[in-house]
Chains A and B, each alone.
Chain A
């Protein structure tokens, strides 16, 4: 006889994994969707930068003195994104217990400690900031890109707002689009799934008449010109991709075999050879500085990714070129932008940046506890009446940093209910006993008459007892989640794009990577290490919470 659990499992109406019929097309359509900038991650990075403002003034002054930066550098203010300003969490998301830390979703209710500062330099530095602007004319930008790529534009979009156009090159149909995003124009071209028929050849021109011969003989008529050759037939459409193999059937009475997974793409390796040179050449021709290209190979096509450098360091932008096995361009995407170098700012050291990650993590967690600016799930379930916990206040920044000042501390947990004291009511009075029976012998009577004295009425109700003492207020209990250690082992410097009050800017960034010690998985964190007095976080935004949509 089967157990209840076995019978429940047996009732599963779908025992095999389900793969949609047009899976590849589905993936392609999904990847054509524009992706919104991750608001929570962006905000976290801003807050990371904000926490830098909590660094000691001594350090900051030391940095300034070392670098001779002076005190007259303009303060950089972060711009509130219109798309996210005032956004409130959705109910579903508010229930989420996870937050993004460094692009990896971690349970925010856990208490992380970041170690590894000793692995990094404690020398402060300095780096310039850059303002970044996108070209104003999208059509002209796209025209310039395809000229560099050596393709011919069939149609040029005249309106300059988010054009998506088709154009033809080498008998294949391409799709192209361009739009402005995060301070640059992001362009993208790729082949359509199927080729299109080529154009027919034109008919030859009618021949001209032969000029009359200057003799007595009659002039001969000119021969009719030959018809033009018929144009070549266009290339056929490409063959559709082979359908996925069916999943392996369930063996009778045995466990089902899993379907074979698809062959993955090769991991990125340093790109060399003619295709790499071609891709780097494209980037340089587009006016950008190319970093070390990497390539991946998948299904006969080769993708070359060329990171774009800012001030000689990797930025968060890159251009990608994918080539067919015959070397023709299959697709390309990249960024068009203009950088203007601004002032050089002092930076805190890489070791000090780890302290800021710790401080920021605590701030994130405490802010998330009871509906602070970051609306994640509470650490405890019920807001209490106790005084706010001190962790947020301990991060209160200098006056210039309004972000931290606005953070409320976490409320304390609900106190335990006071001891209940049972109120004792007054005891009910004792019921009176029956009166005694008295026999009265009437005079002269022969027989005694018995008279019964009525029963005495019940006794009076006792007085109400005193009320119980009010219970003492319960002690406030703060839940301290278990500590998990994240050991940071590497740091790289680079640049990242931020939406600032004065427009988009590329700011210096420290990128840390490490491992969650008891989890075994790798995480990464970024810090904008500009010194405190040069950053203003006043318009910090309410992020869109994470988790399921």
Chain B
């Protein structure tokens, strides 16, 4: 039984880890890129503990949902730490600004103008390549709701997009 469990865990981990890692790395700022591995490991520990809960065929979006919560917790902790230590330590030097800059000003501006929820759903689709079905699983909402929210968020993104042509 344990061997079967380990085998499934490895299969799930092999499939999901690249997507989880990429998801976390895209959003790790202002934490350090060196924190990504720790967060990935935390997600995998949860995956191991909750292996029986992971839906067959939807392992990656389910674990991205876990990663989303793990990241939020970590960033809350990080901000609390920064606030507590603000007067005591030098500012964090990592990551470099270049790592987190979106070069396309129009894209950056439009993303900044979105609400957190809208930005989340737009980027899950555009960057993480998640379908409405998968976004529904990640966010814990119905597929219909996810499709509607994605469509509306994309509309708002386009409205905020101030066109600066890029050839």
A residues apposed to B, CB below 8 Å: 1-2, 4-5, 7-14, 16-23, 26-27, 29-31, 33-36, 38, 40-41, 92, 95-98, 100, 103-107, 109, 259, 261-262, 264-265, 268, 296, 298, 303, 305, 307, 316-318, 320, 322, 333, 377, 521-522, 546-549
Residue in contact with B66 in the complex, picked from A2, A10, A11, A548, CB distance below 8 Å: A548
Residue in contact with B53 in the complex, picked from A4, A100, A109, A521, CB distance below 8 Å: A100
Given the contacts A9-B127, A522-B56, A296 and B17 also touching, CB distance less than 8 Å: no
Residue in contact with B14 in the complex, picked from A38, A98, A100, A262, CB distance below 8 Å: A262
| Contact yes or no, A548 B69, CB < 8 A | yes
| Contact yes or no, B3 A296, CB < 8 A | yes
| Contact yes or no, B22 A320, CB < 8 A | no
B: contact size bracket: 35 or more
| Contact yes or no, A320 B2, CB < 8 A | yes
Closest to A519 in B: B57
Residue in contact with A30 in the complex, picked from B47, B52, B103, CB distance below 8 Å: B47
Whether B116 sits at the interface, judged by CB under 8 Å, is: no
Residues of A within 8 A of B13 (CB): 27, 30
| Contact yes or no, B140 A97, CB < 8 A | yes
B100-140 CB contact bits vs A (8 Å, 1 = yes)? 10111011100000000000001000110000000011111
| Contact yes or no, A30 B100, CB < 8 A | no
| Contact yes or no, B104 A30, CB < 8 A | no
| Contact yes or no, B21 A27, CB < 8 A | no
Residues of A within 8 A of B55 (CB): 98, 104-106
CB-CB contacts below 8 Å: B57-108 with A: 57-58, 62, 65-66, 68-70, 99-100, 102-104, 106-108
Whether B31 sits at the interface, judged by CB under 8 Å, is: no
| Contact yes or no, A16 B1, CB < 8 A | no
CB-CB contacts below 8 Å: B1-56 with A: 1-4, 6-7, 9-11, 13-15, 17-22, 24-26, 36-37, 40-41, 44-56
Residue in contact with A26 in the complex, picked from B24, B26, B37, B136, CB distance below 8 Å: B37
| Contact yes or no, B53 A18, CB < 8 A | no
User: How distant is the Cα of A109 from the Cα of B26 in the complex, in angstroms?
Assistant: 32
| Contact yes or no, B166 A1, CB < 8 A | yes
| Contact yes or no, A12 B127, CB < 8 A | yes
Residues of A within 8 A of B107 (CB): 7-8, 11
| Contact yes or no, B140 A11, CB < 8 A | no
| Contact yes or no, A19 B18, CB < 8 A | yes
| Contact yes or no, A268 B4, CB < 8 A | yes
Closest to B63 in A: A548
Residue in contact with B52 in the complex, picked from A29, A41, A98, A303, CB distance below 8 Å: A41
**30 pairs, CB–CB < 8 Å, chain A vs chain B:** A1-B165, A7-B166, A8-B157, A9-B127, A10-B104, A11-B107, A11-B108, A13-B99, A14-B127, A17-B19, A18-B21, A18-B40, A21-B37, A22-B37, A27-B44, A30-B48, A31-B6, A31-B9, A35-B49, A35-B51, A40-B53, A98-B140, A105-B62, A107-B142, A259-B18, A261-B14, A296-B4, A305-B2, A307-B1, A549-B50
User: How distant is the Cα of A298 from the Cα of B8 in the complex, in angstroms?
Assistant: 13
Closest to A33 in B: B45
3 shortest interchain CB distances as A-B pairs: A17-B18, A18-B21, A548-B65
| Contact yes or no, B142 A92, CB < 8 A | no
User: How distant is the Cα of A432 from the Cα of B142 in the complex, in angstroms?
Assistant: 64
User: How distant is the Cα of A40 from the Cα of B3 in the complex, in angstroms?
Assistant: 23
| Contact yes or no, A7 B106, CB < 8 A | yes
User: How distant is the Cα of A17 from the Cα of B2 in the complex, in angstroms?
Assistant: 29
Q: A18-B18, A105-B58 are in contact. List 6 more A-B contacts (CB 8 A).
A: A8-B157, A20-B41, A303-B3, A548-B69, A548-B140, A549-B69
Residue in contact with B49 in the complex, picked from A19, A36, A109, A298, CB distance below 8 Å: A36
| Contact yes or no, A320 B26, CB < 8 A | no
| Contact yes or no, B161 A4, CB < 8 A | yes
User: How distant is the Cα of A317 from the Cα of B2 in the complex, in angstroms?
Assistant: 9
Residue in contact with B21 in the complex, picked from A20, A100, A268, A521, CB distance below 8 Å: A20
Residue in contact with A19 in the complex, picked from B3, B21, B52, B69, CB distance below 8 Å: B21
Whether B152 sits at the interface, judged by CB under 8 Å, is: no
| Contact yes or no, A4 B158, CB < 8 A | yes
| Contact yes or no, B140 A95, CB < 8 A | yes
Residues of A within 8 A of B65 (CB): 547-548
Residue in contact with A18 in the complex, picked from B10, B25, B126, B138, CB distance below 8 Å: B25
Give B125 Cβ to nearest chain A Cβ, in Å.
Answer: 9
Residues of B within 8 A of A10 (CB): 104
User: How distant is the Cα of A252 from the Cα of B14 in the complex, in angstroms?
Assistant: 27
| Contact yes or no, B10 A265, CB < 8 A | yes
Residues of B within 8 A of A2 (CB): 166-167
Residues of A within 8 A of B47 (CB): 30
Closest to B57 in A: A521
Residue in contact with B104 in the complex, picked from A7, A18, A29, CB distance below 8 Å: A7
Whether B148 sits at the interface, judged by CB under 8 Å, is: no
Given the contacts A33-B45, A96-B140, A548-B62, A13 and B4 also touching, CB distance less than 8 Å: no
